[in-house]
Amino acid sequence: MTSENISAKPENEIISTRVINFPKELVYSAWADPDHLKNWWGPKGFTNTFTEFDFRPGGKWSFMMHGPEKGNYPNECEFTRIEKPSLIAWKRISKPLFQVAVSFEAVSDNETKIVFKMIFDTPEECNKLKPFVVDKNEENFDKLEIELSKMK
């Protein structure tokens, strides 16, 4: 199962991909374990305080993102699909509203392809965030790689 199975019209999606030099199971655990996820989730300079992380379909993920200069950003999500170790999907309950499907595909024993797909209800909603999130998703992947190097 891959995130390609969860799709919308291309104009409603933002897709970020990266192949990283870590095994699939380890990469999946960096997303599935809140003790690791809180260390890297979000763009450069952001930190997190998780208040709930019920990792199952229908479970809630509630957290506060703390901006590097100022500002706290509440996030409320609900997990919609979990297929260990290949897929994690959730929908945001707090604004901006969109769904996320992230898939993990083994390229080799020590390489994993991550496909991070953000799915919006309308092209307008997608286009509002697209100018910002493409670079921020790359920063997120950079932080993930740092966390994975500590997990090895």
Q: What is the pLDDT of residues 52-89, one digit of tens each?
A: 999 999 999 999 999 999 899 999 999 999 999 999 99
- Of 133, 131, 137, 139, give the one whose Cα is nearest residue 44: 139
pLDDT number for residue 1: 45
Mean pLDDT rounded to a whole number for the chain: 94
Query: Three-state SS for 18?
Result: strand
**60/52 Cα distance (integer angstroms):** 7
Please answer whether residues 48 and 66 qualify as being in contact, where contact means their C-beta atoms are separated by less than 8 angstroms.
yes
Query: Three-state SS for 95?
Result: coil
CA distances from 105 to 39, 108, 110 (A): 23, 9, 11
pTM for this entry:
0.92
Residue 90 has pLDDT above 60, yes or no: yes
Which CATH architecture group holds 3-43+82-151? 2-Layer Sandwich (3.30)
